[in-house]
């Protein structure tokens, strides 16, 4: 058993083809994580709760996309239904359940989310069955991979990275510039004052939760062709995206992006150099950040 394989890592770092392959695979891990983590961080920034059941939205996004793809055969519709379905789910979840535990102690919020992790996993098991499922690569992307500097890059990866970057840009600009973005930021700072100005804060809360759920669902839908689907698939993503938000700083969108990319690259290159300690590297990195900067790399700003 090899614990550390620095030779493999070094030979990859010096070969352009391997560098390209590993970097792209790191980027898609990072981009998927970013979409989940940014929802988590947004919900925390505005609602001050950590959505412990956020991974379930990722899972539902993937399953919705798979079902829609099998029914219609259209990949665009699959992505759309993954995102829209989880947005509706997020809205219902927030209005009916989470809104009852705002301002109560963290224990209650965690328990409500914990209950839904259990319920959602079983619901998926009920509807889609406990076994591994796969959606399969859509026909439009069943083309030979591109070769960039000798490295293999499937075209689908480019789409995935592009969509995630577009989402990041829309989200960042929307929050910074648009009227709704300003209202959301104001609600994060002082919900009482926003409400006094005649704005329905409940609607904003529900909307932010739906947006967060939608982003996670989008990540799930985008991941469906390249990952196997299983009940409980959301949980490991949740833990990783939480690590991302801890590294980037809770409430910071830029932090989520940087944190997600760092984790993605650590995972893809770490699997070469430390095959048995890849997960451990992630935690190690988190610990280093936490000890040196307890609020995360970009912890000061609030979304």
Binding residues for another protein, rule: CB under 8 A, are 1, 44, 50, 97, 100-101, 104, 106-108, 110-112, 114-119, 121-123, 125-126, 235-236, 239, 242-243, 246, 250, 276, 279-280, 283, 286-287, 290-291, 294
Least CB distance to another protein at residue 277 (A): 8
CB atoms within 10 A of CB 143: 11
Q: Which is nearer to another protein, 123 or 152 (CB)?
A: 123
Least CB distance to another protein at residue 6 (A): 19
Length of the chain equals: 303
Q: Which is nearer to another protein, 20 or 260 (CB)?
A: 260
What is the spatial distance between Cα 125 and Cα 229, in angstroms, rounded to a whole number? 11
Cβ–Cβ < 8 Å for 262, 254 = no
Cβ–Cβ < 8 Å for 53, 242 = no
Q: Which is nearer to another protein, 114 or 147 (CB)?
A: 114
Element (H, E) at 40: helix 16-47
Q: Which is nearer to another protein, 139 or 291 (CB)?
A: 291
Question: What distance lies between CA 42 and its chain's CA centroid?
Answer: 11
Residue 240: name the closest of 216, 224, 221 by CA: 216
Token pair for residue 150?
């000798």
What are the beta bridge partners of residue 147?
Answer: 152
Least CB distance to another protein at residue 155 (A): 32
Token pair for residue 55?
């991974």
Least CB distance to another protein at residue 120 (A): 8
Q: Which is nearer to another protein, 3 or 139 (CB)?
A: 3
Least CB distance to another protein at residue 202 (A): 17
């Amino acid at each position: 058993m090899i614990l550390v394989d620095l030779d493999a890592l070094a030979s990859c770092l010096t070969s352009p083809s391997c560098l390209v392959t590993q970097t792209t695979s790191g980027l898609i891990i990072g981009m998927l994580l970013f979409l989940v983590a940014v929802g988590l961080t947004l919900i925390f920034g505005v609602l001050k709760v950590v959505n412990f059941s956020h991974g379930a939205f990722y899972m539902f996004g993937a399953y919705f996309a798979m079902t829609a793809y099998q029914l219609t055969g259209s990949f665009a519709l699959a992505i759309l239904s993954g995102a829209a379905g989880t947005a509706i789910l997020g809205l219902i979840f927030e209005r009916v359940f989470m809104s009852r535990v705002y301002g109560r102690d963290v224990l209650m919020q965690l328990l409500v989310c914990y209950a839904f992790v259990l319920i959602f996993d079983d619901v998926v098991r009920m509807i889609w069955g406990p076994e591994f499922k796969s959606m399969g690569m859509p026909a439009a992307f069943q083309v030979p991979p591109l070769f960039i500097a000798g490295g293999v890059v499937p075209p689908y990866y480019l789409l995935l990275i592009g969509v995630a970057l577009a989402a990041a840009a829309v989200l960042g600009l929307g929050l910074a510039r648009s009227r709704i973005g300003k209202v959301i930021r104001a609600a994060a700072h002082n919900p009482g004052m926003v409400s006094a100005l005649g704005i329905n804060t409940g609607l904003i809360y529900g909307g932010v939760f739906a947006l967060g759920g939608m982003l996670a669902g989008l990540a799930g839908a985008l991941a469906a062709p390249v990952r196997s689907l299983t009940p409980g698939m959301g949980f490991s993503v949740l833990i990783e995206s939480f690590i991302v938000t801890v590294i980037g700083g809770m409430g910071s969108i830029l932090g989520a992006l940087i944190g997600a990319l760092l984790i993605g690259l650590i995972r893809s290159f770490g699997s070469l150099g430390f095959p048995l300690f890849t997960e451990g590297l992630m935690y190690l990195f988190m610990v280093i950040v936490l000890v040196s900067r307890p609020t995360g790399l970009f912890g000061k700003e609030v979304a």
